[in-house]
A and B are shown apart, each in its own frame.
Chain A
Amino acid sequence: MINAVRSLGRRGIETLWRGGVMARFFWLVITSSTMSFRRFSLTIREIYFAGVMSLVIIMVSGLFVGMVLGLQGFETLQKYGAEETMGVLVALSLVRELGPVVSALLFASRAGSAITAEIGLMKATEQLKAMDMMAIDPIARVVAPRFWAGVISMPLLAALFSAMGIFGGYVVGVALIDIDPGVFWSNMQAAVDFRYDVLNGFVKSIVFGIAISIIATFEGFDAEPTAEGVSRATTRTVVTSALTVLLLDLVLTAFMLRGVH
């Protein structure tokens, strides 16, 4: 019993300590970001790897999620004779919640894990040490461009996810179920508010982008420099990012809804 409490306490302290180290790392990344903007080509290169290379999975997933939403929504809405508001259901679900959250989860799995593995392997093969010995700060040269690439890519990917999802909903609603396209779009236009729906979704995706990018870069930088260490760090990135995104979504949604009512 004593051992269990001791172990719990030790884990608690370790988690707290790790959180503190990550906060310091975050501050270091922010203060070392000048190069990422002065030499923007470094960040553009990382946007290509993190963002552009994630396009396929994000767009295809968005399309399918939108189509499924359309089918499920139609099934429920028709019971109340409100199937013409299917476009509203699809758009609000995607723009407010599913777009930012699902694209963040996909981004963490696709790009976050790749960032961790890349930085972790650079550490294991002493490339970061070599860079440091060359008087080049690895945080400024390697970490910061990847961090900002993630922050910039995430809202764009979330927007694309939502756009593809709405298109998926349109295909199901208009092409398969035969809802009038004018009704589909006009209901959506009337119900979706730019400030409370689109902008809030955008804010969420930026916050998720910051969280995933800092977790991914930190885990890579902090990885044990062995094959097993890098593998564990990659897993930690995906798990921690997913949990963080869901927790942040709850908190942000609570604040945003409070703003509406």
Chain B
Amino acid sequence: MRTAYWFNATSLSHRSNTANHIFPLNQTNSTPLVEIDDVNFAYGKRPILKGISLKVQRGKVVAIMGGSGCGKTTLLRLIGGQLRASQGRIMVDGQDVGTLDADAMYAMRRKMGMLFQFGALFTDMTVFDNVAFQLREHTDLPEDMIRDLVLMKLDAVGLRGTAKFFPSELSGGMARRVALARAVALDPMLIMYDEPFAGLDPISLAVVGQTIRRLNDALGATSIVVTHDVVESMQIVDYLYFVSEGRIVGQGTPDEIRASTEPFIKQFVHAEADGPTPFHYPAKSYADDLGLTLPKGAA
């Protein structure tokens, strides 16, 4: 199914802040790029997301935060169409991801970039070939132009000098930045980051954080960062959503989040061990587990 596009002069008022994206007829840059409406998802019988709704405005960097296993990565995979919601609707750039066939899904993914938690670089290719991969697969650009584009992307993440290295020769932070360069190789309109700060030292963490913000603004893209790193993400994002037990439990700008008295947000932002998210995973009583019997008359 193809969408009609405006090609006349009036289309200029309906372009996003990225010069290279022309939006469909029914869209303006004031509509959210990603709109998730009452989405449920379960792995088998285990529910992961329970009625999640959120919006990601164009040009913004939005963080989705929450503890491990709360469904953040699942949410990214639903937006990217790698999973299908059991209920609800996910709209990306005006298209319902759940109804797209394989060809339409791949056409949409060409407008997306994704940074995986550990980079997911192709280990049998050099850094240069990793970044060039999508350009070679999806375009007919001549090799010298691909070379210029790849070096430009690598320069943007500060790793032009590693073009000939293999992924095994890079540190964790460098691999993450190369993966970032690869994710933006086709100048996507939506960039998704799955735990981009996990396992990085403070310097690499700051570099990756700043690069995410800088690339988003330079490309005029929209970014969704799934993370549990409160400090770093508060510095680079425009808006945050908090997910707990498959539900959105709080949202706001970084300033609103800092001032929030919502128990879960307070516990998460201030890293408190106990609170709405209990320290102990639900279990039968400790005495029962140890096989202890209480003396008669004891309460």
Residues of A within 8 A of B (CB): 121, 125-127, 129-130, 132-137, 141
Cβ of B214 under 8 Å from chain A:
no
B12 on the A face (CB < 8 A): no
Chain B residues packing against A (C-beta within 8 Å): 80, 82, 106-107, 109-110, 112, 114, 116-118, 120-123, 133-134, 137-138
Given A133-B112, A134-B109, are A126 and B120 also a contact pair (CB < 8 Å)? yes
Closest 3 CB pairs of A and B: A130-B120, A135-B106, A126-B120
CB pair B80 A133 closer than 8 Å: yes
Given contacts A132-B82, A136-B137, contact A126 B118 (CB under 8 A): yes
A to B contact number (C-beta, < 8 Å): 40
Query: Smallest CB-CB separation from A126: which chain B residue?
Result: B120
Known: A135-B107, A135-B109, A135-B110. A129 touches B134 (CB 8 A): no
Query: Please, how many angstroms separate the alpha-carbon atoms of A132 and B82 in the complex?
Result: 8
Contact A130 B137 (CB under 8 A): no
Residues of the B chain whose Cβ atoms lie less than 8 Å from the Cβ of A134: 109, 133-134, 137
Q: Find chain A residues with CB under 8 A from B117 CB.
A: 126
> Quick check: A133 and B107 within 8 Å, CB to CB?
no
Chain B positions within 8 Å of A130 at CB level: 114, 116, 120, 122
Pull 29 A–B residue pairs with CB atoms less than 8 Å apart, ordered by A: A121-B123, A125-B120, A126-B117, A126-B118, A126-B120, A127-B120, A127-B121, A129-B82, A129-B116, A129-B120, A130-B116, A130-B120, A130-B122, A132-B82, A132-B109, A133-B109, A133-B112, A133-B114, A134-B133, A134-B134, A134-B137, A135-B107, A135-B109, A135-B110, A135-B138, A136-B134, A136-B138, A137-B106, A141-B137
What is the CA–CA distance of A141 and B137 in the complex, to the nearest angstrom?
10
Q: Apart from A125-B118, A130-B120, list 13 A-B contacts with CB within 8 A.
A: A121-B123, A126-B117, A126-B118, A127-B121, A133-B82, A133-B112, A134-B133, A134-B134, A134-B137, A135-B107, A136-B134, A136-B137, A137-B106
Q: Specify which chain B residues have a CB less than 8 angstroms from the CB of A133 in the assembled complex.
A: 80, 82, 109, 112, 114
**How many Å lie between the Cα of A127 and that of B137 in the bound state?**
15
How many angstroms between the C-alpha atoms of A125 and B82 in the bound complex? Answer: 16
Q: How far is the CA of A193 from the CA of B134 in the complex (A)?
A: 51
> When A135-B138, A136-B137 are in contact, do A127 and B114 touch as well, CB less than 8 Å?
no
Q: Return chain A residues, CB-CB under 8 Å to B138.
A: 135-136
Q: Which residue of B lies closest to A137 (CB)?
A: B106
User: Given the complex of chains A and B, what is the CA–CA distance between A121 and B167 in angstroms?
Assistant: 14
Q: Which residue of B lies closest to A130 (CB)?
A: B120
- In the assembled complex, the CB of B276 is this many whole angstroms from the nearest CB of chain A, namely 31
* Neighbouring A residues of B107 by C-beta, 8 Å: 135
The CA of A129 and the CA of B138, in the complex, are separated in Å by 17
Distance (Å) between the CB of B166 and the closest chain A CB? 14
Q: How far is the CA of A121 from the CA of B133 in the complex (A)?
A: 19
Q: Which residue of A lies closest to B133 (CB)?
A: A134
Chain A contacts for B109, CB-based, 8 A: 132-135
B contact residues around A135 at 8 Å (CB):
106-107, 109-110, 138
